[in-house]
Amino acid sequence: MSASTRTLLVNAEVYSSSDPFATALMIDDGVITWVGDDAGARVHTDLAHRVVDLEGAFVAPGFVDSHVHATSTGLRLVGLDLSDTRSAQDVLDAVERRAMESTTGFIYGHGWDETMWSDPRLPSRSQIDQAARGQHVYMSRIDVHSALVSTSLVDRCRGVDGVAGFSSEGAVSQSAHHLIRELAFEQISTRDRREAQLATLSLAASRGVVALHEMGGPTIGGAEDLRTLLELAGDKAGPKVEGYWGQLASEGGIEQARELGASGVGGDLFVDGSLGSHSAALDRPYCDAADIRGVLYLSEDDIADHLVEATRAGFQAGFHVIGDAACAAVAAGFRRAADIVGEQMLRARRHRLEHAEMLSDADIATVINLGACVSMQPIFDALWGVPDGMYATRLGHERAGSMNRFATIVAAGGHLVLNSDSPVTPIDPWSIVRAATNHTVPDERMTARAAFAAATRGGWRAIGDSRAGVISVGAPAHLAAWRVAERDVHVPDTRVAGWSTDPRSGTPGLPVLTGDLPECLATWVHGRVVFGDDVVGADSG
């Protein structure tokens, strides 16, 4: 959008706390300069270079998906999506079909989840080799903490057979998976990487997402992967991208993050693994694997040292943390860091926790007091928190019932952001909001308004932007328009009315999410249309 272009949006239902009855707004040079009703809009018509009639569409701040892996997401879109497989044979059939269709030499797949199969036995490596017809194969589990791989790929990863998590037949996990994943991503061509990232950016824009936080790292995609994405996002009219580099300061992480132009030195910096792959660090053994307590990759001292160095360097740090033992280690690391640099200095950096699925009351109090942003994924609960789901299988019902504490964190004054962790769960923000309002533990359910705020404004606050994520005068025009059947004001407490359509409340309503989800009609970033040209018209600037 050029500096001289002023666009007036009219005949809409505008979600704005500054004017809950708004139906129109003006955008000038990427900034919202007026919000009001259609009658007031007539005064601004002559000033506008373009007037767009949205025919009753719902206009709201665009979503921020604050934890994604763009290349992996794009490869899933163009590669093997294994999320619907229900047996080892389904996986093998998918590999064989792809091997017959493509002779690129590399087959990438993602999304298998043996906890959804009636028979959880995985295909053997020899079976994968046969199905792949000589091509390299890397197929990540849905949690991306273990993978099924071909013998040819293992053979190219020297010394991996002596590393923790290696299996000669089944899935590789832990450090062995990190090494093989790093090798697998090195095999992706420049063209395929670019196409995968473009596919992700395009998908995000079509889902009303105006910004992404990319979680990169040495074993996640590598420096070149993050560099390519940041350059691509800078050149392309699409969602904004903030990059995070998950590497310890003691290993050169700060210098690398600075060279890459990353916003933070952390994100997916692994304190532990995942529950699905039995690598999340627990203080008691897994219920379905009595000799396993997971893996703690970083000690309390490692965590504290990283926080101290990042804080002193002016960087936001962050950690991938899931199990209760890992959560406790992170909380202890925060306390030690605060003793060194001071609580005020630590708070100022807004360090992040990614996932944080098993925080105790004491952990929550610590990280909130020390200013941490808690970044969580409601669809994890929707997939695995159901009765007799994966959480209950791995942890037992008691521990499973005290996970993903959205409402508790918000009630304690915490800064919560909600996102997808794509490709683990899809870039589908209204599904994320709906899942947060339908937590499997009723006491942890959020209002739709709180969940929406955590999926929009919360993501901007996580990077220190206090202006974006709202519709008000002076805010950046990061917007999305939606086709919505019905709106209401939702509360999760069943003892009171769950919705209200009384306009006298002055509370802007959100789409009802019990049926079909809203359809994105258009997305604007800095006032420029990045999706929906056919609906609202292409920008001239």
Short-list 404, 353, 358, CA closest to 377: 404
Domain with 214, as residue range(s), is 190-462
Domain boundary among 441, 462, 483: 462
Backbone angles phi, psi at 62, to 5 degrees: -70, 160
In a domain, 71, yes or no: no
In a domain, 515, yes or no: yes
Q: Are 203 and 182 contained in the same domain?
A: no
Residue positions counted in the chain: 541
Q: How far apart are CA 250 and CA 518, in angstroms?
A: 46
pLDDT reported for residue 494? 45
Short-list 366, 360, 345, 375, CA closest to 461: 375
Using DSSP's 3-state secondary structure scheme, residue 242 falls into strand
In a domain, 286, yes or no: yes
Q: Are 46 and 86 contained in the same domain?
A: no
pLDDT reported for residue 363? 98
Which of 82-101 are b and which e, b meaning 16 or more Cβ less than 10 Å from the residue's Cβ? beebebbeebbebbbebbee
CA atoms within 13 A on the CB side of 341: 22
Q: What type of residue sits at position 412?
A: A
CATH of the domain at 265: 3.20.20.140
SS (H, E, C) 26-38: EEECCEEEEEECH
Q: Are 235 and 156 contained in the same domain?
A: no
Q: Residue 383 burial by CB count (10 A; 0-12/13-18/19+): exposed, middle or buried?
A: buried
Which residues are CB-contacts of 340 (< 8 A; sequence separation ≥ 6)? 304, 308
Tokens 């060194």, located at residue: 340
In a domain, 379, yes or no: yes
> DSSP string spanning 6-29?
EEEEES-EE--SS-TT--EEEEET
pLDDT by residue for the chain (541 residues), tens digit each?
444 589 999 999 999 988 999 999 999 999 999 999 999 999 999 999 999 999 999 999 999 999 999 999 999 888 899 999 999 999 999 999 999 987 778 899 999 999 999 999 999 999 999 999 999 999 999 999 999 999 999 999 999 999 999 998 889 999 999 999 999 988 888 999 999 999 999 999 999 999 999 999 998 999 999 999 999 999 888 999 999 999 999 999 999 999 999 999 998 999 999 999 999 999 999 999 999 999 999 999 999 999 999 999 999 999 999 999 999 999 999 999 999 999 999 999 999 999 999 999 999 999 999 999 999 999 999 999 999 999 999 999 999 999 999 999 999 999 999 999 999 999 999 999 999 999 999 999 999 999 999 999 999 999 999 999 999 999 999 999 999 988 776 555 543 334 344 444 456 789 999 989 999 999 999 999 999 987 776 654 4
CB 107 within 8 A of CB 79: yes
In a domain, 1, yes or no: no
Q: How far apart are CA 252 and CA 248, in angstroms?
A: 7
pLDDT reported for residue 216? 97
Q: Are 211 and 330 contained in the same domain?
A: yes
pLDDT reported for residue 405? 98
Give the global pTM.
Answer: 0.92
Q: Residue 81 burial by CB count (10 A; 0-12/13-18/19+): exposed, middle or buried?
A: middle
Q: How far apart are CA 277 and CA 140, in angstroms?
A: 11
In a domain, 510, yes or no: yes
pLDDT reported for residue 502? 43
Q: Are 484 and 429 contained in the same domain?
A: no
Q: Are 303 and 227 contained in the same domain?
A: yes
Q: What type of residue sits at position 41?
A: A
Q: Are 22 and 99 contained in the same domain?
A: no
Q: Are 327 and 458 contained in the same domain?
A: yes
Q: Are 81 and 53 contained in the same domain?
A: no
Q: Are 362 and 307 contained in the same domain?
A: yes
Q: Are 399 and 452 contained in the same domain?
A: yes
Short-list 275, 319, 276, CA closest to 297: 319
Q: How far apart are CA 385 and CA 390, in angstroms?
A: 7
In a domain, 541, yes or no: no
In a domain, 67, yes or no: no
CATH of the domain at 514: 2.30.40.10
pLDDT reported for residue 78? 82
Domain boundary among 412, 429, 462: 462
Q: What type of residue sits at position 84?
A: D
Short-list 256, 364, 272, 274, CA closest to 310: 256
Q: Are 374 and 425 contained in the same domain?
A: yes
Number of domains in the chain: 3
Domain boundary among 161, 186, 211: 186
